[in-house]
Structure 1
Amino acid sequence: MAPTTAAVQAAVETASTAETARITATLIRVTGDWSLAEDCVQDAFARALADWPERGIPRNPGAWLTTVARNRAIDRMRSAASERKAVRELTVLAELEGLAEDAVIDPAADDDRLRLIYTCCHPALPFDARVALTLRTVAGLTTAEIARAFLVSEATMSKRLVRARTKIRDAGIPYRVPPPELITERTAGILAVLYLLFNEGYSATGGDSLIREPLVREAIRLTRLLIALLDGSPQEPEAMGLLALMLFHHARRTARTDATGDLVTLEAQDRALWDSAAVAEAAALLAAADRLGISRGARPGSYRIQAAIAACHMTAGSPDSTDFARIAMLYDALAHIAPSPVVELNRAVAVAMSQGPEAGLALIDQLDRTRSLEGYYLLPAARADLLRRLGRKSEAGLAYRRARDLAPTEAERRYLNKRLAETSPACPSESSLNTHSAPAGKEQQ
Structure 2
Amino acid sequence: MESMESRGPSGVQFRKLDPSRSEIRLLQLQPADDIDQAPVARLINVALTDKIEYLAISCLLSGTETENIIINDNNIAVPASLGQILRHVRAVFLDPPAQPGRPWSPTQTKNKRPNWLKEALRQVKSVFGDSQGGRDDEKTLYVWFDALCIDHRNPQEEAQKLTHMGMVYRSAQMVVGWLGPKGELTDVSLEILQHVEAAMPPNFGEPEDKRLHPENYAPQHQWLQKVAYLWSQGLEGPYYPALVDFTGRPLFHRTWLIDEIAMARYPIFLIGDRLVSWKQVITLNRLLEELTNESLVFPPGLRSVAQSWPLGTVYTMLKHYENRIRDEEKNTRLGVLKQVEMKKQKEQAREISGAGEMAQTEFRRKGSIAPSITYEPTSFEASRETIGQASSIDNSRRITGRAL
Normalised to the residue count of structure 2, the TM-score between the two structures is 0.29
Could you say which structure has the greater relative contact order, defined with CA pairs below 8 angstroms and 6 or more residues apart? 2
Report the structure number with the largest CA radius of gyration: 2
Normalized per residue, the structure richer in helix is: 1
Normalized per residue, the structure richer in strand is: 2
Normalised to the residue count of structure 1, the TM-score between the two structures is 0.27
